[in-house]
Amino acid sequence: MTAAPEDRFFRQECYIDGRWVSGPDRITVNNPATGEIIGAVPKFGRKETAAAIDAAHAAFLLWREKTAAERGEICRKFYQALMDNQDALARILTIEMGKSLREAKGEVAYAAAFFKWFGEESRRVYGDVIPSPWPDKRILVTKEPVGVVGSITPWNFPTAMIARKAAAALASGCTIVAKPASQTPFSATAYGVIAEDAGVPKGVLNIITGSAAAIADEMCENPKLRKITFTGSTEIGKSLASKAMLYMKRVSMELGGNAPVIIFDDADLDRAVEGAMISKYRNSGQTCVCANRILVQAGVYDRFAEKFAAAAKKLRVGDGLDDGVEQGPLIDDSAVVKVEQHIEDATAKGAKIIAGGKRHAKGLT
């Protein structure tokens, strides 16, 4: 099942300088639950990224002059649009990413909350008065918007991660060029529709899809772009930060997690299992804070393992659009292969499989 063609939030073009633009080279996008091709987006590179940065830079000169109240009102409109269209946006998210519709709806609300919070905070960007060592001088500190921001976001929270970055940028008076993951571009291009509805001036919010390497290189090297914000793997984050530092650009990096769950002998095992299930299986285990190992003290190891395996076996697996589904597919086949490699490594070192251990009969991934 695909997004309905008449769904106005489902856009297969990029949003640059207030216009919908496309190109001859395309990136196809699959529904990970069915393998069905649901659409395609432009495969843009450095030239188009430079154009988006030019548009954002021109818009910045005017956007920064908006009052905090005006910028906050735009953020409020984003919040309201996300909440008013929660079902449609969640459906797009589930189709391209795979998570259950219930989780997708929660993510849209989570994304909306960023616009609400940052919009309210825009009124409270206070400065400082510093005691002066000179009797005839005062020292004042004012906070100014950085300029054009480039954001690169992952596929696991395609609606929320853009919101976290775009809301902060817009509220503070910055403009933004946002590059979403190629696996999940449609949750991002939907923001172009919302920007039009909210009356965002052209060039303030730009969404570009395409070659990650080419777009990132242009962001790092283009002098009109002043800050890069990235959520993704530690490996890519290190590379991106090192390139940005060559041009003395500000960076914000949210990189890979390393999250153990530790259970001691005196733990309430039922609560421990409940917490571990939430931590491990949120978004089918595809978050940066999901548990990647569970350490259990010897005295409760067997009982915890039994209870945890029983809980895992009860999870309902399937297409995220189906009623009651709790676990959708992994994002793509390479993710499945990675899990299989972990299983092979663990069993080779003495681990015993007590639940699962192989691909589910229902899914491609």
Do 210 and 323 belong together in one domain?
no
CB 189 within 8 A of CB 177: no
Q: Is residue 174 among the annotated active site residues?
A: no
3-state secondary structure of 335: helix
- Which CATH number goes with the domain that contains 221? 3.40.605.10
Do 235 and 306 belong together in one domain?
no
Output the pLDDT for position 364.
Answer: 64
Residue 2 lies in a domain: no
Do 220 and 343 belong together in one domain?
no
- Which CATH number goes with the domain that contains 291? 3.40.309.10
Do 158 and 306 belong together in one domain?
no
Output the pLDDT for position 4.
Answer: 56
Do 120 and 142 belong together in one domain?
yes
- Domain count for the chain: 2
Residue 68 lies in a domain: yes
Do 127 and 215 belong together in one domain?
yes
Do 153 and 135 belong together in one domain?
yes
Output the pLDDT for position 3.
Answer: 46
**Can you read off the two tokens belonging to residue 317?**
């697996």
d(CA 327, CA 331): 12
Do 282 and 213 belong together in one domain?
no
Across the chain, which has 365 residues, the per-10-residue mean pLDDT values are: 65 97 96 95 98 98 96 97 96 96 97 97 93 94 96 97 98 98 97 96 98 96 97 94 95 90 96 95 90 94 96 94 93 92 94 90 70
**Can you read off the two tokens belonging to residue 120?**
């309210």
Output the pLDDT for position 235.
Answer: 93
* Options 174, 254, 290, 344, the catalytic residue: 254
Range of the domain at 319: 260-348
* Options 75, 174, 220, 288, the catalytic residue: 288
d(CA 161, CA 188): 10
Residue 110 lies in a domain: yes
Q: In Å, what is the CA distance from 299 to each residue of 104, 198, 263, 271, 349?
A: 38, 58, 10, 17, 22
Residue 219 lies in a domain: yes
d(CA 49, CA 267): 52
Do 265 and 243 belong together in one domain?
no
Residue 358 lies in a domain: no
Do 321 and 177 belong together in one domain?
no
Within a 10 A sphere around the Cβ of 292, how many other Cβ atoms? 16
Residue 6 lies in a domain: no
Q: Is residue 120 among the annotated active site residues?
A: no
Query: What DSSP line would sit under 12-33, residue for residue?
Result: -SEEETTEEE--S-EEEEE-TT
Residue 317 lies in a domain: yes
Output the pLDDT for position 311.
Answer: 96
Does residue 128 come out as left (phi exceeding 0), alpha (psi in the -120 to 50 range) or beta? beta
Do 175 and 310 belong together in one domain?
no
Do 171 and 298 belong together in one domain?
no
Rg for the chain, CA atoms, rounded: 23
Output the pLDDT for position 1.
Answer: 43
